[in-house]
């Protein structure tokens, strides 16, 4: 399923006790929809977004039992339905009616997954965007829920140059919030800044996967360049020191959105998922040997 959400009022994607999360709302809806065929399905997601982070192209999958799948044929609006397309459309409508009634979460589409598909482990890249309104005149109250209002005017040419200098396969320890036994080696495939037609600064970042806080740290570092506080070359030097630093800020989640997740051709889905899972298991067992030439964990 492809999902969009306004993360403002959520404590992130991942389900947590007490706190309101996107996964929590969707799984509560699934428990209602499949209340006659428990246990209810759970969701596996491509990008576990943090509190306050948005998504337009989040991807998750769920596995249904044969009974659950057929239960979606139940009459809807008095019409008897049937067939895969009707079942996924019916599930989409029910989820949007239950979890999306306020419009904060919207399931855009549900389709049958190809054989071997895993929303998390089959993914080969994630693309994020970050929006900043710097000049007074470009601040738009209608977009304030997903645009950071920055209190200084920024030089987009310098920011874009700094962004381009950072791409490639590197150890991003300087730009990641450390997590035990998690690798910080990633391939930053794309990182650009441009000023959109309406004057808003937009960053696009694509990587095989991002480690924790990496997008917001990279954005914060390039903003420091745009403000004249750091030089473009500083960011590469900081990266190559492979140690956390406080010379730039990790920016707030407001401006950040997961835009798109990339998957390989159907035939490669299973092998990609198996490879990702194997590396995750190695890392969890504490035996991973990070190497700049090997492929990395997928989230």
Of the candidates 50, 118, 208, 299, the residue annotated as catalytic is 50
What is d(CA 22, CA 29) in angstroms, rounded to the nearest whole number? 11
Candidates 25-33, 59-67, 136-144, 219-227; binding stretch for its own copies (CB under 8 A): 136-144
Number of residues that bind its own copies (CB under 8 A): 25
Residue 79 interacting with its own copies (CB under 8 A): no
User: CB 7 → its own copies: shortest distance, Å?
Assistant: 9
Residue 105 interacting with its own copies (CB under 8 A): yes
What is d(CA 203, CA 214) in angstroms, rounded to the nearest whole number? 13
User: CB 219 → its own copies: shortest distance, Å?
Assistant: 18
What is d(CA 58, CA 126) in angstroms, rounded to the nearest whole number? 9
Residue 139 interacting with its own copies (CB under 8 A): yes
Residue 145 interacting with its own copies (CB under 8 A): yes
User: CB 264 → its own copies: shortest distance, Å?
Assistant: 23
* Residues listed for the chain: 299
Cβ neighbours, 10 Å, residue 75: 9
Task: Rule CB under 8 A: choose which of 28, 37, 106, 204 binds its own copies.
Answer: 106
Residue 56 interacting with its own copies (CB under 8 A): yes
Residue 92 interacting with its own copies (CB under 8 A): yes
Tell me, yes or no, if 50 is annotated catalytic: yes
Nearer to its own copies, 95 or 166 (CB): 95
Candidates 42-50, 103-111, 212-220, 222-230; binding stretch for its own copies (CB under 8 A): 103-111
Quickly list H helices, 189-231.
Answer: 214-226
Q: How distant is the alpha carbon of residue 228 from its chain centre?
A: 30
Residue 288 interacting with its own copies (CB under 8 A): no
Nearest of 288, 287, 191 to residue 239 by alpha carbon: 191
Residue 109 interacting with its own copies (CB under 8 A): yes
Structure tokens at 105: 């979460």
User: Helix, strand, or coil here: 274?
Assistant: helix
User: Helix, strand, or coil here: 277?
Assistant: helix
DSSP state of 40: P
Task: Rule CB under 8 A: choose which of 16, 85, 140, 291 binds its own copies.
Answer: 140
Residue 285 interacting with its own copies (CB under 8 A): no
User: Helix, strand, or coil here: 133?
Assistant: strand
What is d(CA 78, CA 95) in angstroms, rounded to the nearest whole number? 18
Dihedrals phi, psi of 89, to nearest 5 degrees: -65, -40
Residues making contact with its own copies (CB under 8 A): 4-6, 54, 56, 92, 96, 103-106, 108-109, 136-137, 139-146, 149, 257
Catalytic center residues: 50
């Amino acid at each position: 399923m492809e999902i969009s959400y306004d993360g403002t009022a959520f404590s992130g994607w991942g389900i947590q006790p007490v706190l309101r999360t996107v996964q929590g709302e969707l799984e509560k809806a699934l428990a209602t929809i499949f209340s006659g065929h428990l246990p209810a399905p759970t969701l596996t997601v491509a990008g576990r977004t943090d509190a306050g982070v948005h998504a337009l192209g989040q991807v998750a999958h769920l596995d249904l039992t044969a009974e659950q799948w057929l239960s979606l044929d139940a009459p809807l609006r008095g019409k008897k339905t049937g067939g895969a397309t009707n079942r996924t459309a019916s599930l989409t409508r029910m989820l949007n009616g239950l979890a999306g009634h306020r419009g904060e979460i919207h399931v855009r589409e549900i389709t049958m997954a190809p054989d071997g598909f895993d929303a998390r482990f089959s993914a080969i890249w994630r693309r994020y965007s970050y929006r900043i309104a710097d000049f007074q005149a470009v601040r738009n109250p209608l977009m304030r829920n997903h645009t950071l209002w920055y209190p200084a005017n920024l030089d987009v040419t310098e920011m874009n140059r700094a962004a381009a200098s950072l791409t490639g396969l590197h150890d991003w320890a300087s730009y990641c919030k450390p997590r035990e036994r998690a690798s910080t080696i990633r391939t930053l495939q794309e990182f650009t800044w441009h000023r959109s037609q309406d004057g808003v600064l937009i960053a696009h970042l694509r990587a095989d996967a991002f480690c924790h806080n990496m997008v917001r740290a990279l954005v914060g570092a390039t903003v420091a360049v745009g403000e004249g506080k750091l030089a473009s070359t500083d960011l590469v030097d900081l990266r190559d020191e492979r140690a956390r630093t406080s010379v730039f800020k990790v920016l707030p989640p407001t401006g950040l959105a997961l835009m798109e997740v990339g998957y390989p051709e159907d035939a490669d889905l299973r092998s990609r998922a198996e490879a990702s899972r194997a590396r995750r298991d190695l890392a969890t067992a504490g035996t991973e040997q990070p190497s700049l030439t090997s492929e990395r964990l997928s989230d």
